[in-house]
Structure 1
Amino acid sequence: MFPPAMAGYDRAITIFSPEGKIYQVEYAGEAVKRGWPTVGVKCRSGVVLAAEKRKISALFDPSSLEKIYLIDEHVAASPSGLLADARILIDYARDVSLSHRFIYDEPIDVEFLTKAICNLKQQYTQFGGARPFGVALIVAGIDRHGARLFQTDPPGVYIGYFPTARGAEAGTIMEYLEKNYRYDLEMGECVELAVKALASAVEITDASIIEVAYATVDEKKMKKMTPEEVAALAAKLPKKT
């Protein structure tokens, strides 16, 4: 029998291997593992996203790149993986959210939006002539059910989390969260935890490489922290020796 690569199982998106795998979907997962890390934390007071914007050049302007995208006033998403793929999904999510608000005159539920994103992702694992989206999205927001946090992966599956992380060094970040997370955190503590979790795996030498957004259960609006606010948070981080 030919090995999987010779049999073409790693090239065709519509063919299962004898082991029951779709290799292109697994390769998309590898792209996620190599992406810039993103952290999401949900607590009783709200939800937080924190993400790294890695400096790709000494001439790079960090303000020109987003790592946390506002989808609607109550929900945001942060990708890990191929950012070009993420842009397509973010635009799609914004269209879905806007259409829902226009038709029903109310903000979309965060889980309903996440499911719509994953439906599109899953379609790209079934048809020839396409490839899976090589990106994971952490979707966070506030809706009628309270604070919501979901992780989506290339196959189109989504799972709710209290804290989660995706991208490079996600394992290290999750270890930190497992040791330090509590659901009863206040909003300020939740923000600090997300940034410290990110810093447990990423050397933060410049506050401009971090993006942070949060929403409280009371206000129900996702807000991006200003560079000055992020710098103040970064200044509190313990120095690595």
Structure 2
Amino acid sequence: MMGGNDQQAYDRGTSLFSPDGRIYQVEYAREAVSRGAPSLGVRTAEGIVFVAMSRASSTLMEAESIEKLHKLDDHLGTASAGHVADARQLIDLARRQAQGNRLRYGEPIGVETLTKFVTDHIQENTQRGGTRPYGAALLIGGIENGEPRLFAADPSGTPNEWKATVIGGGRQDIQGVLEEEWEEDLSLDEGVELGVRALAAHEDEFVPADLAVATVTDDEGYRTVPEPEVTEAFEAAGITGDEEDDAADSDAADEDDAADDEE
């Protein structure tokens, strides 16, 4: 059994394996991701859906400054969770690679090719001195040869392809809903509704303004879904936001007061 001093030595080494085959800094980076707000991706028959919790931490914060979903190219998008600054570095790297591929070869980069380029870079930071692992995870999704594809990249640099998955906090609850309700022939709208329901399994009090939603299709490419359409998805999913509940309670109270006055 390792003593406390021995374990601390392996904690400090970014590229050192512990005797039981663990890299503690990578595990800590995964923990940083799990403490972030959740972001999920859903592959549908029509394209990719991204849904992310992007609630402002203060009423004084501009909600538009919270960026969880990003366009990488016309046919590619990404969702992030974890340390925002780390995620932005990886997103900028992915954008440069996507644009460089268009300039060199005159064609869009493949979803899998871009994902593996990013994860190779992430993995290098787990075995090189003087650096630390990225404290962020990404979902990279888009259209490749007319087919939607969705990949996840975690702080270890492992690329996995998914039909639907989530990164960030509440993973167990949200993933459970995705595994239970995902179907091969989902439409794009149904994918958005599924994403909203899945997030509700972890966070039961939120409103459409608390979410960022984007889609990637063969026809329209990357598209940010406006709030009115997100509200429609809320209603279709059978979810009522807490602000709407408060408004309903307030209206009911006003009606009761009016009735008392009449009596």
TM-score (norm 1): 0.94
Residue aligned with 2:79, SS: strand
CA shift in 2, pair 1:58/1:116, >3 Å? same
**What is the CA-CA distance between 1:63 and the residue it aligns to?**
1.0
Match of 2:249 in 1: none
Higher relative contact order (CA 8 A, sep 6+): 1
CA distance in structure 2 between the aligned counterparts of 1:115 and 1:4, rounded to whole angstroms:
37
Deviates more, 1:203-212 or 1:97-106: 203-212
Q: Are the counterparts in 1 of residues 56 and 66 from structure 2 also a CA contact under 8 Å? A: no
Higher helix content, 1 or 2: 2
**What is the CA-CA distance between 1:207 and the residue it aligns to?**
1.7
Match of 2:228 in 1: 228
Structure 1: 5+ residue stretches without partners: none
CA distance in structure 1 between the aligned counterparts of 2:56 and 2:212, rounded to whole angstroms:
13
CA distance in structure 2 between the aligned counterparts of 1:11 and 1:59, rounded to whole angstroms:
38
CA distance in structure 2 between the aligned counterparts of 1:193 and 1:5, rounded to whole angstroms:
46
Amino acid at match of 2:112: E
Question: What is the percent sequence identity of the aligned residues?
Answer: 39
1:125 aligns with 2:126: yes
Amino acid at match of 1:144: N
**What is the CA-CA distance between 1:145 and the residue it aligns to?**
5.6
CA distance in structure 2 between the aligned counterparts of 1:200 and 1:157, rounded to whole angstroms:
27
1:167 aligns with 2:183: no
Q: Are the counterparts in 1 of residues 77 and 216 from structure 2 also a CA contact under 8 Å? A: no
Q: Are the counterparts in 2 of residues 32 and 134 from structure 1 also a CA contact under 8 Å? A: yes
Structure 2: 5+ residue stretches without partners: 246-263
Tell me how large the CA RMSD over aligned residues is: 1.7
1:69 aligns with 2:75: no
Amino acid at match of 1:94: R
Match of 1:13 in 2: 14
CA distance in structure 2 between the aligned counterparts of 1:4 and 1:50, rounded to whole angstroms:
43
Q: Are the counterparts in 1 of residues 234 and 240 from structure 2 also a CA contact under 8 Å? A: no
Deviates more, 1:228-237 or 1:184-193: 228-237
Q: Are the counterparts in 2 of residues 4 and 10 from structure 1 also a CA contact under 8 Å? A: no
Match of 1:138 in 2: 139
**What is the CA-CA distance between 1:170 and the residue it aligns to?**
1.0
Structure of larger gyration radius: 2
Match of 2:156 in 1: 155
**What is the CA-CA distance between 1:5 and the residue it aligns to?**
5.3
Amino acid at match of 1:184: D
CA distance in structure 1 between the aligned counterparts of 2:228 and 2:180, rounded to whole angstroms:
29
Match of 2:49 in 1: 48
Match of 1:176 in 2: 177
Q: Are the counterparts in 1 of residues 193 and 234 from structure 2 also a CA contact under 8 Å? A: no
CA distance in structure 2 between the aligned counterparts of 1:167 and 1:160, rounded to whole angstroms:
17
Match of 1:219 in 2: 219
Q: How many residue pairs get matched?
A: 240
Match of 1:197 in 2: 198
CA distance in structure 1 between the aligned counterparts of 2:207 and 2:44, rounded to whole angstroms:
27
Match of 1:89 in 2: 90
CA shift in 2, pair 1:16/1:227, >3 Å? same
1:32 aligns with 2:33: yes
Residue aligned with 2:221, SS: coil
